[in-house]
Structure 1
Amino acid sequence: MTYWGIGEALDQCRSWCRQDLRISIAVNISARCLHDARFLGVVRDALGASGLKPDCIEFEITESAIMLEPERSRAMLQEFRSLGITQSIDDFGTGFTSLSYLKDLPIDKVKIDRSFVTNMLRNDRDAILVRSTIDLAHNMGYQVIAEGVEDENTWAALENLGCDVIQGYYVARPMTASALEEWIGRSQWQMVANF
């Protein structure tokens, strides 16, 4: 499925480039692909065939996928980085990433899991985890994305904490590519363009 997803993502990016829309697509990378030596060649070939810059796609990898084989994961992430692909740790806070591994991972972004974000205004411990994660990630040079933002108060709290990007129903619900194109034209939100 991930192999197919990369081809589809690149096809969509190519279509958006022809329309002068500067949108990157995030692709979830499974643990199986992350630890499959052939996957790197597939990615390299697909990027080469697409004619696109590598920053038109972003790889999202969960903590649990990384921690299945930490050393192998780190090596593969380094290979992706050498291709110029932006990478993020998805669902951060739900896995068991040791800080010693986090400091050495060649990633660009940390996505705070929605389970902390949605409860941060009602649960002091979740608020502490969100604030601490934002501080830690920024101090390590990573951009921070908060998942699961569903209301204005949560957005305002995250903005006050210095969160870089929000994701969730408060911004928009999942939509098709054509619906996204229309939404961009009428949206109040600033789109984050990576390329």
Structure 2
Amino acid sequence: MVAVQDSGVEPRLNSRIEKFRDLSPADRLATVGDAARLGQADRDALRGGVLPLDLANGMIENVVGTFEIPLGVATNFTINGRDYLIPMAVEEPSVVAAASYMARIARGCGGFETSSTAPIMRAQVQVLGLSDPHGARARLLSARDQIIAAANEKDRVLIGLGGGCREIEVQVFEETQVGPMVVLHLLVDVRDAMGANTVNTMAEAVA
């Protein structure tokens, strides 16, 4: 996704490009490159690939280059009050056109508003065979800091990136098919990672 930073001097990017689909791939790339202030190396990278550009141009809309499959640009997007040109690597026709068209409709109402939650994943540890599950829960909660520290020792890289285990949750389930159960959750900020391996490793260390 391409956007131009506000600086007070440089003009903001305008994703509304008239007749963009009627341009040749080379002219589209030049237009996008100028709008996003791409250097020559970036433009050359978009011209590479095994797929011939003229073939890619007949497969989807707004082609500017190839990415082993056609690489197009969806126009008209305004997101959180700011314009973006959205790169889309797809092989199916009409996808880029549909995205651009819907963005143009939304643009008339101010575009799209987005938000996100923190990148928190949960790892679960189940403890069985307990005669005093509530006492076990209390002991786990009292050891909160040690549990979090033990989990975070397993991924120092994630800690360095600002992530890591943030909190624990402990629940008691008194009536299950296997008897009373205590469930410990590790709440882990996985940053930009998908996080499955990270939280599994932390849970195994704590267990």
TM-score range, shorter chain: under 0.3
Structure number with higher helix proportion? 1
Normalising to structure 1: TM-score of the pair? 0.23
Normalising to structure 2: TM-score of the pair? 0.23
